[in-house]
Chains A and B, each alone.
Chain A
Amino acid sequence: MNPSHIERGPLFFRDRDWHPAAYTPGYKTSMTRAPFRPLVAMGSTLSEETGPAFGHSMIGALDNNLIMNFTGQPAIGERIIMHGRVLDETGRGVPNVLVEIWQANAGGRYRHKKDSYAAPLDPNFGGCGRTLSGPDGAYEFLTVRPGAYPWPNRVNDWRPMHIHISVFGSGFGQRLITQLYFEGDPLIAKCPIVKTIGNDKAIQALVAPLDMNRAIPMDCLAYKFDIVLRGRRQSFFENRKEGM
């Protein structure tokens, strides 16, 4: 990679009011897994500003095709393209970001021994994929739209249709896991995990709109989902030693 494109500099501070709080009683499991003491807050250091690098050589040809990447036979379900750009908070596209996704199959069932939901496994659906963002931050997956599923929380809680997403920035302090929801799903507004986020604008940032411009006629629909990572400060006035 061209050294001038290496990402450096202190990270923007995380807006903790925008993210979900740790302790959110509507999502019961968070009650015993939330730290009670305040986080120790300070600016980023090299340990947060540097991060692992991933190369295109490690990505297989079908890694971003969840319809075909398990057995080579097509998975069942509504075929969709999930696409978007990885950006940072300054609006720049971020290249070479590893995006990993996992999801239930079209019936709402995960390929996991702890998932005992009545919907059947699809023998041709593994449920994960990965890709690296391109030079402008763009990424895409081909998959099936996952089904909604019930989960043990309150008596009758159901997860809206969703895709889990894991992203690396160029710094370990940008590490993020989130979930994509689908435009128009009535279960979004009822979901205790969605509602761990207190800000409705922030919730809307996780809802992917239907994108007919990227749909392929007679083949698949498309949903657009941009991912925004913490930005980096650029200033000649940073209180830093030369060469850092």
Chain B
Amino acid sequence: MQPLEYLKETPSQTAGPYVHIGLTPNTLGNPGIYPEDLGLSPIRDGAKGQLITITGHVQDGAGMIMRDALIESWQADAQGIYPGNDPRGAADPNVTGWARIIADFDSGEWTLSTVKPGRVPFPDGRMMAPHISLWVVARGINLGLQTRIYFEDEDNESCPVLQRIEHRPRVQTLIAKQTAPGQYRFDIVLQGDNETVFFDM
């Protein structure tokens, strides 16, 4: 038999307790190496679309609010085009799409200010509801967790990704609740009751 000559993906290891030294040194209090931390905002002035702010926390299975979580977000622009390598064309030049979000070192609260993304097609052409992809790492997380923020005030019923969640009440764990116009709340629960849906995609 011929050998199948694929390499294996590098195995993951936890980001550990000191991830901020590497990824957000200025915010941590170790300035002097980079002029500024990467991913401070997913948009620049002039980004088209509705400005929104999402606030939340990350909670572990013991009910503790995690103050060491680091989240990265990735999203399309208001038209549903991703910056960079989207095969459908160029995105809004004022949307970079990516942010590095850290839980507050004291309260554990995090905030993402951005524009609401547009709908993006699923591989079969159906449209996914507007969403922001998240990747969550921290001490104790052996492989970064993939999840998504959807929005309470959008039509989420027909989203082909949400439809794949068999236990329907769990869909609610992915839907940010509107607390005021343009303001949303999205808490992530790693384990236990109301455990957030995580994806293998």
Contact = CB atoms under 8 A, between A and B. Distances in A.
B144 A176 contact: yes
Contact of A177 (B29, B30, B66, B137): B137
Interface string B34-50: 11001100000000000
B85 A91 contact: no
A205 B76 CA distance: 34
Nearest to A130: B34
Contact of B140 (A6, A12, A33, A40): A33
A158 B164 CA distance: 42
A71 interface: yes
B18 A110 contact: yes
B60 A32 contact: yes
B29 A52 contact: no
B144 A177 contact: yes
Contact of A229 (B9, B135, B161, B199): B9
Given A52-B83, A127-B21, A241-B121, A39 B8 contact: no
B18 A240 contact: no
Contact of A51 (B5, B61, B85, B140): B85
B23 to A, nearest CB: 6
Interface residues of B, number: 82
B142 A19 contact: yes
17 contacts: A20-B143, A40-B200, A42-B200, A45-B120, A46-B82, A46-B86, A47-B148, A51-B74, A52-B74, A89-B9, A128-B22, A166-B23, A206-B10, A226-B10, A241-B121, A243-B87, A244-B121
Contact of A22 (B35, B66, B143, B197): B143
A111 to B, nearest CB: 6
Contacts of A112: 17-18, 20-21, 28
Given A42-B161, A70-B32, A177-B12, A172 B133 contact: yes
B99 to A, nearest CB: 9
Interface string A74-85: 000000000000
A20 B121 contact: no
B84 A229 contact: no
B62 interface: yes
Contacts of B198: 35, 39-40
A113 B13 CA distance: 23
B138 interface: yes
Chain B interface helix/strand/loop/mixed: loop
B183 interface: no
Contacts of B143: 19-20, 22
B143 to A, nearest CB: 5
A60 B28 CA distance: 20
Nearest to A112: B18
Contacts of A52: 39, 74, 83-84, 96-98
Interface in A24-43: 24, 27, 29-37, 39-43
Top 4 A-B pairs ranked by shortest CB distance?
A: A102-B22, A29-B140, A52-B98, A33-B140
A89 B9 CA distance: 6
Interface in B88-144: 88, 96-98, 120-125, 128, 131, 133, 135, 137-144
Contact of B11 (A18, A22, A115): A18
Contacts of B21: 102, 110-112, 127-128
B15 interface: yes
A32 B140 CA distance: 8
B124 A241 contact: yes
B146 interface: yes
A73 B201 CA distance: 45
B160 to A, nearest CB: 9
